[in-house]
Amino acid sequence: MDSTSTAAPMTDDCETELENKKKNNWSSSYFSWWPSWRPTSMSLLKTAESKILSCIRNDLWARFVKLPNQDRIWTLTVSNKTVHKPSEQSPKTPLVMVHGFGGGVGLWIRNLDSLSRSRPVHAFDLLGFGRSSRPHFPSDAAKAEEQFVDSIEQWRESVGLENMILLGHSLGGYLATSYAIQYPSRVSHLILVDPWGFPERPKAENQENQGAEAVKTFRPPRWVKVIASIVSFFNPLAVIRAAGPWGPGLVNRFRPDFKRKFEDLFDDDTMTQYIYHCNAQTPSGEVGFRAMSESLGWAKRPMLQRVHLLPPSMPVTMLYGAVSWVSSSSGDKAAEIRGKAQTRVMLIDKASHHVYADQPEEFNKVVENICNSVD
């Protein structure tokens, strides 16, 4: 495991840049028509992230975790420096947090300190996103999903975790479920936060008959529609890269909510700059996402078709924002399929898709209670 123990990430960016250049040779010619004057780099991403992580008060270990194939997963481990457990007491099951599409570890800034009060918390950038390696992803949906899940299992082995409480948001929830199906002995409790990719796409012949019901269960916001209109032809975030120096402005225009969600922590564009630099790099994880998705973000391999493969004894909690564009009806359906004894569906009032940032105190309280139920 390639690691650096610091209070904030201090990894050598020259090494990171060199690695990315080597690993992204496959795409350099293909995307050469994009403007080379995009105001981004891994160094700028590190700078934006470092400002965010400086808010963490507990012990922070930030490092790259090297996988057997030499890919590297950018990883944070946060633990409570004030807690000194007796040596005879068994350590508590760690919480592992997996971000959603286009995100990164910095988005958990409202949650890491609170959730690490009594147990270690690990958060990592998914393969192909944030500061993690950006390898080639296949165009086949099943193979792309397998590459994501394999990287999570290799990460777990490299970090040395026997088991974990696994939490995934949006795309991270979809991948966390796939992981739990394949490696059930490693997951003590599965927490899915506004998970993407669960419902089946309504068949064309039924859409007219469904009418208002279809609108009620899936009403995506404007930025989702914009991305969806691009997905058919390009990678989902191609417009951000193609916009060159106007890219940061596009993020501010289409996602002003990110600035508002964190305005008490940062009075500038720190969060939208972070989102921009996470997604203005060479596309990789979003290529994998595109392979797995259909128009308007439906999954080609809906998770509701496989949720029955989770062990019946595995506790699953599905958290939804009460005003999210993702319908909690998929959670209700999952509970019906699995049996409600081990599947709980909860709504967080006044929260949209980014539940953890909209209502962080309530979110942290719910997740902490779930963790305490494990040990």
| Residue 133 phi, psi (nearest 5) | -60, 150
Max Cα distance, the chain (Å): 64
Question: Which portions of the chain are predicted below pLDDT 70?
Answer: 1-38, 83-89, 204-256, 258, 296
User: Position 300: which residue type?
Assistant: K
Place of tokens 């490693």: 186
Cα distance between residue 322 and residue 258, in whole Å = 18
Q: Report yes or no: 284 and 128 within 8 Å, Cβ to Cβ.
A: yes
Q: Tell me, what's the pLDDT at 201? A: 86
pLDDT of residue 19: 46
Please report whether residue 148 resides in a domain: yes
Q: Return the CATH number at 163.
A: 3.40.50.1820
State the burial class of residue 178 (Cβ atoms within 10 Å of its Cβ: 0-12, 13-18, 19+): buried
Beta partners for residue 375, in sequence order: none
Q: In what order do the strands lie in the sheet with 343-348?
A: 59-66, 72-79, 121-124, 95-98, 164-169, 187-193, 316-321, 343-348
Q: Is residue 11 part of a domain?
A: no
Helix, strand or coil for residue 22? helix
User: pTM for the whole thing?
Assistant: 0.83
Give the domain range for residue 264.
Answer: 37-200+221-374
CA nearest to 17, candidates 62, 76, 60, 72:
72
- Element housing 76 (H / E): strand 72-79
Whether 206 is covered by a domain: the verdict is no
- Placement of tokens 């105190």 in the chain: 361
What's the number of domains the chain is made of? 1
Would the CA dihedral through 164, 170, 171, 174 be positive or negative?
Answer: positive
Report if residue 251 sits inside a domain: yes
For residues 324-336, one letter each, b for 16 or more C-beta atoms within 10 angstroms of the residue's C-beta and e for the rest, the string is bebbbbbbebbbe
Q: What is the pLDDT of residue 262?
A: 87
Q: Which two tokens stand for residue 331?
A: 């959670």
Assigned domain for 18 exists? no
Q: Rounded to 5 degrees, what are φ and ψ at 6?
A: -145, 170
Q: What is the reported pLDDT for 12?
A: 43
Task: Give Cβ neighbours of residue 207 (< 8 Å, ≥ 6 apart).
Answer: 214
Domain assignment present for 22: no
Q: Give backbone dihedrals phi and psi of 289, rounded to 5 degrees, phi first.
A: -65, -45
Residue 111 in any domain: the answer is yes
Pairing status of strand 343-348 against strand 187-193: unpaired
* pLDDT for residue 84: 54
The whole-number pLDDT of residue 324 equals 93
CB atoms within 10 A of CB 301: 16
Q: How many helices (H) and strands (E) does the chain have?
A: 17, 8
Give the model confidence (pLDDT) of 93-110 as tens digits: 999 999 999 899 999 999
- What confidence score (pLDDT) does residue 340 get? 77
Has residue 252 been placed in a domain?
A: yes
What's the one-letter identity of residue 291? A
Long-range contact set of residues 355-362: C-beta below 8 Å, sequence gap at least 24 = 355/169, 355/193, 355/194, 355/319, 355/320, 355/321, 355/324, 356/107, 356/108, 356/110, 356/111, 356/169, 356/193, 357/107, 357/110, 357/261, 357/262, 358/261, 358/321, 359/321, 360/110, 360/111, 360/114
